[in-house]
């Protein structure tokens, strides 16, 4: 083994895997998802199309989309035991921790857990996709002391998800915007959570374990947790001017501003953020209230001017979710629920072509013995 080796803190720029699932092409400005640009797809295709693309490799024909919707809706319900476990959790449990627990419990109901062949894993992916909205919405309901809402099989995937969260069936605009947010969150190459899932899967551990670890990764504020942190920041101000002052003070204190910056697009706007900004404008117009939009735009301009940084998806997804009436504690679980499709596809790929992840270190500690 060579003694002088390269070290890249945070694995910045390191190629960690080969994949045919996705690639951030910053030169062409594309988020390539199995050959298609996610941004273009988000304008023309729904979330279930992305599910089909990532798990089957093609965009679905009409009958394939219908069959997928049918298959998922038949599995929306979750075992009663999962709900009973949520009832045992302290009410102070973070919704991401409840979600992590829920996925972990689901693993116990899989009687073919040791089977890692691609088809078995794909079916697991579908089961998780079907059940996660029910887990996300109802773990939160139980923690908040609210009644459990059973899924409505007659609603579309996204309409049913929103219904279980808010307790009312969404309008066509709300359903479309929410579905678009799921498309944008569905897959993004090799973020920390996907790397976590692949590292776990590389020991030949199972999909539930890989996704449970990924929940913990995605919870952090430097990753998925930023969307809820953005909303709390917005709620600390009432006007664009107050929001600018709040951000300027944070910069003075050398605080990181949630919703800005990105390991891959540090000096550009995350293209997904632009789509959510447009959705926010649409929701603002429909509501006759553009206060949040104006605050976000003022914040965007200030951080660009002062730091040369641009919004990432979480910056504009947060006010969109607020305008859809979604409780803040569910923003990150929804992100994870959408990302389940990308994560499942990565676990399948890792198991199909596995090499154990086991890097080395640059040792900086003492040596108390010396062998000549």
Ligand X SMILES: CC(=O)SCCNC(=O)CCNC(=O)[C@H](O)C(C)(C)COP(=O)(O)OP(=O)(O)OC[C@H]1O[C@@H](n2cnc3c(N)ncnc32)[C@H](O)[C@@H]1OP(=O)(O)O
Ligand Y SMILES: O=C([O-])CC(=O)C(=O)O
- Cβ 165 to ligand Y, closest distance in Å? 21
* Of the candidates 97, 175, 117, the residue with the CA atom closest to the CA atom of residue 336: 97
Spatial separation of the C-alpha atoms in residues 194 and 331, rounded to whole Å: 18
Residues 209-248: x/- map of binding to ligand Y (CB under 6 A)? --------------x-------------------------
Binding site for ligand X (CB under 6 A): 10, 222-224, 226, 256-263, 307, 309, 312-314
For 82, half-sphere exposure in the C-beta direction (CA atoms, 13 angstrom radius) is 25
For residue 94, indicate whether it is catalytic: no
- Cβ 262 to ligand Y, closest distance in Å? 6
Which pairs count as long-range contacts for 233-238, CB under 8 Å and 24+ apart, including other chains?
Answer: 233/257, 233/258, 233/259, 234/292, 234/295, 234/296, 234/318, 234/319, 234/322, 237/295
For residue 290, indicate whether it is catalytic: no
Name residues contacting ligand Y, limited to 152-191 (CB under 6 A): 188, 191
- Is there binding between residue 250 and ligand Y (CB under 6 A)? no
- Cβ 189 to ligand Y, closest distance in Å? 6
Residue nearer to ligand X on the CB measure, 199 or 313:
313
From the candidates 49, 97, 206, 314, give the one annotated as an active-site residue: 314
Residue nearer to ligand X on the CB measure, 160 or 338:
338
What torsion, rounded to 10 degrees, do the Cα atoms 269, 270, 273, 277 define?
20
Cβ atoms of 163 and 170 closer than 8 Å: yes
Stretch that binds ligand Y, among 50-58, 61-69, 258-266, 285-293 (CB under 6 A): 258-266
- Cβ 299 to ligand Y, closest distance in Å? 19
Q: Which residue has the tokens 């897959």?
A: 187
- Is there binding between residue 333 and ligand Y (CB under 6 A)? no
What residues line the site for ligand Y (CB under 6 A)? 188, 191, 223, 262-264, 312-313
Indicate which residues carry an active-site annotation. 262, 314
């Amino acid at each position: 083994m060579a003694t002088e080796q390269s070290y890249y803190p945070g694995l910045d720029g390191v190629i960690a895997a080969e994949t045919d699932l996705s690639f951030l092409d910053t030169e062409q400005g594309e988020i390539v998802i199995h050959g298609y640009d996610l941004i273009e797809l988000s304008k023309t295709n729904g979330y279930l199309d992305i599910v089909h693309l990532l798990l089957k490799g093609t965009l679905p024909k009409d009958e394939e989309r219908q069959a997928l919707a049918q298959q998922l809706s038949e599995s929306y319900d979750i075992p009663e035991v999962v709900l009973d476990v949520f009832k045992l959790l302290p009410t102070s449990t973070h919704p991401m921790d409840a979600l992590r627990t829920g996925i972990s419990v689901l693993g116990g109901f899989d009687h073919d857990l040791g089977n890692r062949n691609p088809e078995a894993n794909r079916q697991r992916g579908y089961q998780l996709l079907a059940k996660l909205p029910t887990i996300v919405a109802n773990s939160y309901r139980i923690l908040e002391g609210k009644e459990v809402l059973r899924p409505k099989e007659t609603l579309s995937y996204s309409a049913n998800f929103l219904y279980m969260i808010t307790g009312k069936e969404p309008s066509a605009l709300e359903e479309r915007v929410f579905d678009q947010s799921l498309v944008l969150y569905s897959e993004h190459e090799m973020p920390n959570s996907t790397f976590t899932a692949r590292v776990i899967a590389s020991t030949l551990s199972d999909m539930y374990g890989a996704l449970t670890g990924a929940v913990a990764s995605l919870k952090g504020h430097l990753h998925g947790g930023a969307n809820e942190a953005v909303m709390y920041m917005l709620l600390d101000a009432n006007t664009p001017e107050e929001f600018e002052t709040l951000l300027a003070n944070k910069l003075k204190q050398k605080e990181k501003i949630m919703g800005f910056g990105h390991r891959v697009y540090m000096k550009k706007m995350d293209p997904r953020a632009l789509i959510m900004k447009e959705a926010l404008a649409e929701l603002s117009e429909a509501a006759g209230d553009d206060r949040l939009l104006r605050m976000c735009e003022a914040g965007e301009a200030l951080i660009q001017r002062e730091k040369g940084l641009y919004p990432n998806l979480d910056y504009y997804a947060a006010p969109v979710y607020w305008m859809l009436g979604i409780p803040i504690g569910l923003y990150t679980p929804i992100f994870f629920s959408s990302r389940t499709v990308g994560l499942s596809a990565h676990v399948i790929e890792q198991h199909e072509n596995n090499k154990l992840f086991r890097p080395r270190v640059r040792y900086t500690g003492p040596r108390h013995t010396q062998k000549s």
